[in-house]
Amino acid sequence: MLVLDSMVLFGIFCVYFVYQNLIALETHEMKNSLIALAVLAACGAATAQSSVTVFGIVDAGIARLSGSEGHVIGMSNSGQSKSRFGIRGAQDLGGGLSASFHLEGQLHPDTGTGSAPGGGMNFQRRSTVSLTGAFGEVRLGRDHAPTFWNSALFDPFDGIGAAQMDSMLGASRRNNNSVGYFLPRNLGGFHGQVQYAFGENASNAAPATKAGNYFGVRAGYANGPLNVAFASGKLDTGIAPAQGDVTAHNLGVSYTVGMVKPLFQWAQETSKAGTRPEIKQTAWLIGATAYFGAGELRASYSRYDRKNSANDFRKFAVGLGYNLSKRTQLYATHARVINKGLSNVVVGNEGLSTAGLNAAGHNTSGTELGIRHLF
């Protein structure tokens, strides 16, 4: 009874909050009312089961990157999986509800540093708190952008290291200040997520200084051998887009046949800024991962076309992995980029600088040999 009273009061407060904000809301900021309602809907009984897990990956290796002007040899990190350190946990709240958190930061084992300026560790890979129930999951904090997932999951190289499918026009990989919603996991293989991230602009800020709000979605079907997903996201800079909008779309398909998983990815990014002509780049990748005993063979071919431009490039990548255990793998990868026109894409990785290694229009390549250990 008292519980009911408190929920009623809480509900009244939430409705008031939504009402008050709806009045002043700009169009781009409307989604928070949905969140308020979702949070409200999440109320349930109170019991406790919990766990805290310290986890991470240490991945280091030796790499050689080369272009027409020179080469560099040194220690790379994260050639196979992004090195990281994290803490996560979940609490069963009863009634099918659970609360969880996830803190995860980048790690450079070659230098012992993290991703903060100056090299401090932080949790910029993911830093979220979630409520999960029959309704799905509501997640708040810094999180991956929906379009990030296809670029990683439909690349045999997981979107990391010298062999990864290349990034294009700067679409968000992660967003600060995000509110995400995920469909429940029991929909027979169908899944979906939406994410809104606040630009946090003052209503009276000068338009040219406004940071962009972000909105993205991802939906797919993963069941049995088939895995297919589409994602779309837009960083919207509002009325006076001084810094440019960046829109990204991507689509991935894989179909596992025995120990072989062929996959396909299509991706497109568009950048707009004021009266500057729109820039559009389209890429597609075909690849496969094959498992034989403790071994893995990975390969991909990808093309990148810039609209109304001859400055395009292609990338070939092959890799071998040998699993010493589920958590420890030795790997070797090799990638080659064929640049056309004035394109000057250099095969890069984490840990080595490619500055000055190549001249526009020339080809580049990179090789990594390393060890990845999960904990």
Task: Restricting to residues 104-123, name those near a copy of itself by CB under 8 A.
Answer: 105, 107-114, 116-123
**The one segment of 217-225, 229-237, 242-250, 318-326 that binds a copy of itself by CB under 8 A:** 318-326
Q: Is the dihedral of CA 103, 106, 109, 115 positive or negative?
A: negative
Nearest distance in Å: CB 256, a copy of itself: 17
Q: Which of residues 272-301 bind a copy of itself (CB under 8 A)?
A: 292-297
Three-class DSSP category at 272: strand
| Residue 208 DSSP label | G
If the CB atoms of residues 276 and 327 are measured against a copy of itself, the closer one turns out to be 327
Taking phi over 0 as left and psi of -120 to 50 as alpha, with beta for the rest, 29 belongs to alpha
**The one segment of 8-16, 147-155, 268-276, 300-308 that binds a copy of itself by CB under 8 A:** 8-16
| CB distance 179 to 31 below 8 Å | yes
Q: What are the tokens at 280?
A: 């559009």
Nearest distance in Å: CB 235, a copy of itself: 15
Q: What are the tokens at 162?
A: 């010298």
Q: Which of residues 50-79 bind a copy of itself (CB under 8 A)?
A: 50, 52, 54-56, 58-62, 64, 66, 69-75
Q: Applying CB under 8 A, which of residues 128, 195, 271, 289 lies at the interface with a copy of itself?
A: 128
Q: Which of residues 339-358 bind a copy of itself (CB under 8 A)?
A: 351-353, 355-357
Q: Applying CB under 8 A, which of residues 80, 81, 82, 125 lies at the interface with a copy of itself?
A: 125
If the CB atoms of residues 62 and 219 are measured against a copy of itself, the closer one turns out to be 62
> CA of 196: how far to CAs of 121, 167, 213, 292, 301, in Å?
26, 22, 8, 41, 33
Q: What is the largest CA-CA distance in the chain?
A: 76
Q: What are the tokens at 254?
A: 């894989």
Q: What are the tokens at 54?
A: 């310290």
Q: Which of residues 233-272 bind a copy of itself (CB under 8 A)?
A: none
Q: Which of 288, 231, 302 is nearest to 256 (CA)?
A: 288
Instruction: Name the packing angle between helices 31-41 and 2-24 (round to 10°).
Output: 180
Amino acid letter for position 374: L
Rounded Cα distance, 233 and 225, in Å? 27
Q: Which of 75, 80, 125, 78 is nearest to 104 (CA)?
A: 125
Q: According to the binding rule CB under 8 A, does residue 85 interact with a copy of itself? A: yes
If the CB atoms of residues 180 and 192 are measured against a copy of itself, the closer one turns out to be 180
Q: Which of residues 177-206 bind a copy of itself (CB under 8 A)?
A: 177-179, 198-205
Residues 6+ apart with CB under 8 A from 202: none
Q: Which of residues 132-161 bind a copy of itself (CB under 8 A)?
A: 140-142
Q: Which of residues 356-375 bind a copy of itself (CB under 8 A)?
A: 356-357, 367, 369-373, 375
Q: Which of residues 17-46 bind a copy of itself (CB under 8 A)?
A: 17, 20-21, 24-25, 29, 32, 35-36, 39, 42-46
Nearest distance in Å: CB 300, a copy of itself: 16
At 197, give phi and psi (nearest 5°): -125, 130
Q: Applying CB under 8 A, which of residues 81, 82, 103, 241 lies at the interface with a copy of itself?
A: 103
If the CB atoms of residues 17 and 316 are measured against a copy of itself, the closer one turns out to be 17
Q: Applying CB under 8 A, which of residues 124, 256, 282, 309 lies at the interface with a copy of itself?
A: 124
If the CB atoms of residues 69 and 278 are measured against a copy of itself, the closer one turns out to be 69
> CA of 54: how far to CAs of 21, 354, 365, 372, in Å?
39, 34, 36, 17
Rounded Cα distance, 22 and 121, in Å? 38
Nearest distance in Å: CB 278, a copy of itself: 29
**The one segment of 232-240, 269-277, 305-313, 324-332 that binds a copy of itself by CB under 8 A:** 324-332
**The one segment of 16-24, 149-157, 244-252, 306-314 that binds a copy of itself by CB under 8 A:** 16-24
